[in-house]
Structure 1
């Protein structure tokens, strides 16, 4: 083999290793469109929601959806000029479903670093934090984590989300009761099968309004700081549009109008 031929062979080998210059190493074609473009072309936006977290999201036995974020999802779809399709998900699966089963997640989604590893959040629209809810007769008994984390105390929790994470991290002596249905979990407290639940202050306020026997424990001074936002795929263009929509909704009276019947 001549020197020229050897050089040519070496050059082809290098290009092959680098993945360029050969037909077999052609890069895979990717759809360069934003999720925003995809949604508009489809004519439909798919919103994941758990349906078990009032006042943000609720799906009844007949399959009818309601809640603050359900109504806001309708407003988002209307302003985008597309149909709204609601997709049932769970707290355990919600971050994985975004981008796979749906275009974004709405419904009282707390901002967490773990979820932020998988997607992008809009700007937050509500400040919140974990606090107890219990029978009003026990309100003074469960003011602090030290009072709650005692042998014999039964703290009920819905699995898969931030409530369970908080309970697992902070309750070592109390008994954690894992209840799979967040729509019926507060009845467990009323019926005496659990002593309390630690959840977001917004939920404790709403549940206390619906059930006179339940009291939200210091909801204005929760144990933690958290925020609610909407979870999207890693798509900056789509996030920019969603942020602009949310900014308008928060400042043109849309959010206040939708939230008032639920939050007062």
Structure 2
């Protein structure tokens, strides 16, 4: 009898060792921890920045908090410079990056993206009373205020504009307002933020490119349950009107399309 019990015990141990242990999914681990770790810059207004009180705020920050809430966990933001932000996923410093990360083929080869949660387009900005420039083609022979090495500067040149060099968006807009440049091509989201801050500024969008650039939540490959949960959360945020509220707060526009 003792021998039989010993053999039975050995058999049970062998059976337990032979039975595969199902590893927790990334989503299960996050729910168990109660925290979604989010990588972000914290220095890129109006998307992720610190307000006068020092609190981390911004469009992407609020989207991140809403995603976490719908996963049933808290959002924990881990700040870092842009140059190393995506690499933080490889080092497991956080679970996702929410920081205006553009969806492109190079990144998609190594990482997964959620469905796009924000869209931006190249916007052609002119003074409010400018009737001469109504399309990108109208830039031919006109002065366009641009940073020299930017994609927008190259785009202006491709339409035959004379480039007036600037150091960034604010200076470009200032030159247009002062009449020292006829136009500037810049990110539509930056323009919406500018108009939100300075609604009386006498500038307008004359035209936008048809094709938009999209950003999504970035995460490591091989986490299908987490990816699906994030997409479900983003869809819920849009469906219940939360997205529209956040978008209006920071841009005065719906920036999902």
TM-score bracket, shorter-length normalisation = 0.5 to 0.7
Is the 1:190–1:213 contact (alpha carbons within 8 Å) kept by the matching residues of 2? Answer: no
Alignment of 1:61-80 (within 5 A): 63-80=54-71
Q: Distance in 2 between matches of 1:170 and 1:217?
A: 15
Is the 2:101–2:218 contact (alpha carbons within 8 Å) kept by the matching residues of 1? Answer: yes
Residues 1:113 and 1:42: Cα distance change in structure 2 (over 3 Å): same
Is the 2:48–2:57 contact (alpha carbons within 8 Å) kept by the matching residues of 1? Answer: yes
Residues 1:93 and 1:137: Cα distance change in structure 2 (over 3 Å): farther
Q: Normalised by the size of structure 2, how large is the TM-score?
A: 0.66
Is the 1:131–1:223 contact (alpha carbons within 8 Å) kept by the matching residues of 2? Answer: no
Q: Distance in 1 between matches of 2:172 and 2:153?
A: 17
Alignment of 1:1-264 (within 5 A): 32-60=23-51, 63-100=54-91, 101-133=93-125, 136=128, 140=132, 143-144=135-136, 147=139, 153-156=144-147, 164-165=150-151, 167=153, 171=157, 174=163, 177=166, 185-186=169-170, 189-190=173-174, 198-211=185-198, 212-213=200-201, 215-218=203-206, 221-222=208-209, 224-234=211-221, 235-264=223-252
Q: Deviations over 1:29-53 (max 9, x none)?
A: xx95433233233332221223455
Residues 1:200 and 1:91: Cα distance change in structure 2 (over 3 Å): farther
Shift of residue 91, structure 1, vs aligned partner: 4.3
Q: Distance in 1 between matches of 2:238 and 2:42?
A: 23
Is the 1:148–1:174 contact (alpha carbons within 8 Å) kept by the matching residues of 2? Answer: no
Shift of residue 132, structure 1, vs aligned partner: 3.4
Q: Deviations over 1:64-90 (max 9, x none)?
A: 222232112112222323332222344
Q: Distance in 1 between matches of 2:43 and 2:130?
A: 25
Shift of residue 122, structure 1, vs aligned partner: 0.8
Is the 1:87–1:102 contact (alpha carbons within 8 Å) kept by the matching residues of 2? Answer: yes
Is the 1:130–1:199 contact (alpha carbons within 8 Å) kept by the matching residues of 2? Answer: yes
Q: Secondary structure at the match of 2:146?
A: strand
Q: Distance in 1 between matches of 2:137 and 2:95?
A: 38
* Mean CA deviation greater in 89-98 or 99-108: 89-98
Q: Normalised by the size of structure 1, how large is the TM-score?
A: 0.65
Q: Distance in 1 between matches of 2:81 and 2:157?
A: 24
In angstroms, what is the RMSD of aligned CA positions?
3.7
- Tell me how many residue pairs correspond in the alignment: 222
Residues 1:246 and 1:94: Cα distance change in structure 2 (over 3 Å): same
Shift of residue 147, structure 1, vs aligned partner: 2.3
